[in-house]
Amino acid sequence: MSKADLRAMSAASSTVASSFSRHTAGTTGEPTHISLSRTELAQMLAVRAYCYNKHGLKLGQREARVWGRAANSLTAKIRDFLLNRKVFYPAEDGAAETVEKLVKWSPEYLYGYTSLILEAAQIAQKKGLKPRGVKAVICTAESILPAQKKFIAEVFGAPVFEEYGSTEFDVIAFECSRGHLHLVNPWLWVEEEDTVLITDVSRKSQSVVRYQLGDAVSLAKADCSELGSMCSIEELRGRTAQQFAYINPKQKFHAVVFGRVLDSYMRNFNDCFRFTIRQKEYNSFYFYLSEQPLLGMRHFRSWISSELITKLELQQDLNIVVSCDNTKAGREKFTYFVQEIKS
C-alpha cells in the first residue's frame, strides 16, 4: 500500500464529525490525511506515554519542541499552552537569541528534529550556556550519528534517545537506555523488505495494510527486554530514494557508508557538525558542512577521501569537493545524502 493509495482512500471516504485527524505534507510535498477515532488516538498517546515513562518523563512536563517556526494561530497557541510546551526554531537570523530563551525556559525535556537540536547544542556551547534540569533529549524525524548524540548529551547534560515514527502511526520504535531502537507499538505489524511495511491491525477508521513508509531498515532480535518488543531496528538506512552513491553506472555503494565515515571522523578528532553530501555526477561528491572542521578543510577532505577509498576498496581517487556553504536547517526534514544524478 503506497502513500498515494492512502491519499485516495482518504479522499474517497467521508470523515465523521467526531473523528480526529492528523496531517502531513510528506517527503514528496503531497499532503496525507490520517483519520482517527478517539480510541485510535488514545492508543497512539498511550504508546508515547509508555516510552516516556520508561525514561522518567511524563506527557505534560515542560517540553521544548525544537521544530519549525511556531504557528501563530490562536488554536496553536492554546494547544501549546495546554500541552505545557514552547516551540523553538534555532536557525537563520536570531538563532542565538532563540537558544538563550530555550535555556532560560528550563524545559524538562527537548523533542524535535536532530539537525535543529544539534544546532541548538552548538550555539549553547559557543555561548557558554548551561542548560539546567533537562532529563532527556528526544531526536526524531532525522538520523543521528553516535558522535552527534554524544555531543548533544554533553551540552544538555542529559541522555539522548532516538525515536522512529511517522504522522500515520506516531511512535513506531523508541530507543532504550542500552541503545536498542525497540519496536514499541503493539498494534503495529512491521515487516522488513526493500522498504519497511507497516500494518495497523487495530485501526478501523482507515484500512492501513502493508503500508510503505519509504524508509529502508534492518530488523533484528535484541537480547534486551527493557522497552517494548525484543525486536528492534538494527540499522535505519533512510529514504529508499536516497540509498546508493555511484562510482560509475555499474559500480555503486550504500550511502550509509558516508554516515559511518563521518561519525568516525568526529570521534577521532573530537569534532561535531552537520553535513549534507550531494551527488550530481558519477564519482563526484559535494560535502556541505555546517561549519569548518577544527583541523581545517584540507585535513577533512584528505582524511575522508582516504577513508572512503580504503573502506570501498577502490582503485581510483574520488572527486570530493568540500565547502562551508552551510547546511542551515530549514523547516524541511534534514538528510545526509542527496542523489541527483540524471538518468
Q: What is the pLDDT along the chain (343 residues), one digit of tens a residue?
A: 887 788 777 766 654 444 777 766 554 455 677 888 899 999 999 999 999 999 999 999 999 999 876 667 788 889 889 999 999 988 767 889 999 999 999 999 999 988 889 989 999 999 999 999 999 999 988 888 899 999 999 999 999 999 999 889 999 999 999 999 999 999 999 998 878 899 999 998 888 999 988 888 889 987 899 999 999 998 876 665 556 788 988 888 877 788 889 989 999 999 998 888 999 899 999 999 988 999 999 999 999 999 999 988 888 899 999 998 755 444 455 677 888 887 5
Read off the C-alpha cell for 269: 578528532
- The DSSP-derived string for 328-339 is ---SSPP-SEEE
3-state secondary structure of 136: strand
Looking at the chain, which runs of residues are DSSP E strands? 20-24, 32-36, 63-66, 85-88, 109-113, 136-140, 160-166, 170-175, 181-183, 188-192, 196-200, 211-212, 215-221, 231-239, 244-248, 251-254, 275-281, 284-289, 319-323, 337-339
Question: How confident is the model at residue 329, as a pLDDT?
Answer: 43
pTM of the model: 0.80
3-state secondary structure of 253: strand
Read off the C-alpha cell for 60: 505534560
DSSP-assigned beta bridge partners for residue 14? none
What is the chain's alpha carbon radius of gyration, rounded to the nearest angstrom? 21
Q: Find the helix or strand (DSSP H, E) in which 223 lies.
A: none
DSSP-assigned beta bridge partners for residue 252? 246
Query: Maximum distance among all alpha carbons in the chain?
Result: 64
Distance CA 58, CA 242 (A): 36
Q: Three-state secondary structure along 292-322?
A: CCCCCHHHHHHHHHHHHHHHHCCCCCCEEEE
DSSP 194: S
Q: CA angle at residue 242 from 240 to 244, to 5 degrees?
A: 100
- Of 94, 91, 65, which Cα lies nearest the Cα of 80? 65
Question: How confident is the model at residue 318, as a pLDDT?
Answer: 92
